[in-house]
Amino acid sequence: MTWPGDPQQLRDLAGTAARHPQTTWCFTLTDPDGRPVAHACGTPAPKPPGADDSGPGPPALTQIGRGPPGSRGTWRYTHQGRQILFTFDDLDGDCDHRFQASGHDPGRKLRHLTGVLHPECTFLTCRTPEHQSDYEHSVPTDQRAITCLCACGPVCRRNHRNKQQPGWKIRGTGQPGEFTWTLPSGRTYATRPTTYPI
């Protein structure tokens, strides 16, 4: 969810969420153009017995691990006595297939990261939400397809059926979330990951 709230509203919302033990937290880091480059999810740890709800000081986000070279590492978010850990997964650059599924269907994390890259159908003019779309392989599964961020994305049922007709084609570029659609006219259209408001 993107929400253009002011800083105080965001702090109030985070404080309300932090008090609930089943709140799920996700961060998406973007480049200067608003393209997603890394993502992490975490859940609040149970509040220690007797902990003060006011927490020790203002909210803080602190890096606690650097991770491998080039990664964004692991961070700890502290808010109202809760600590949540986030280890960021890189979403930019050449795909290293670390999230590749062994079979046809994506796992929960792969499906989630695919939705971060494309909250809507990957066809250029389609706005069908990712959760209402098919998880489409750019190369058909009977042609040695892989199930990975660089080879799959959300495609609405209509465009999924179109893609299976003569003259239609979609191909991954080797970059997570980047695809090239070819239409029966021969025209090609590039699809890149979504641009988030910044």
Residue 177: closest CA among 190, 188, 165, 186: 190
Per-residue pLDDT tens for 87-129? 899 998 899 999 999 988 999 999 999 999 999 999 989 999 9
**Can you give the length of the chain in residues?**
198
- Same domain for 73 and 124? no
What was the pLDDT predicted at 59?
Answer: 67
Residue at 184 is within a domain: yes
Per-residue pLDDT tens for 152-188? 999 999 999 998 899 999 999 999 999 999 999 999 9
- Same domain for 69 and 129? no
Q: How far apart are CA 14 and CA 26, in angstroms?
A: 12
- Same domain for 117 and 180? yes
Of 43, 63, 90, the residue at which a domain comes to its end is 90
- Same domain for 135 and 175? yes
Which phi and psi (to 5°) does residue 159 adopt?
A: -70, -25
- Same domain for 126 and 69? no
Cα dist. 156→12, 125, 135, 136 in Å?
Answer: 36, 11, 9, 9
Per-residue pLDDT tens for 44-80? 655 556 655 555 556 677 888 887 776 788 888 887 6
- Look up the pTM and report it: 0.81
- Same domain for 113 and 184? yes
Q: Which two tokens stand for residue 190?
A: 């590039």
- Same domain for 12 and 81? yes
- Same domain for 113 and 140? yes
Confidence of residue 1 (pLDDT cuts 50, 70, 90): very low
Residue at 120 is within a domain: yes
- Same domain for 16 and 86? yes
Listed in order, strand segments (DSSP E) in 43-142 are: 60-65, 74-79, 82-87, 89-90, 134-137
- Same domain for 113 and 175? yes
Residue at 101 is within a domain: no
- Domain of 186 in residue numbering reads as 108-191
Amino acid letter, 150? C
Residue at 24 is within a domain: yes
- Mapped onto helix, strand or coil, the DSSP state of residue 14 is helix
Residue at 97 is within a domain: no
Number of domains in the chain: 2
Q: Are 77 and 86 in contact (CB under 8 A)?
A: yes
Q: How far apart are CA 115 and CA 39, in angstroms?
A: 11
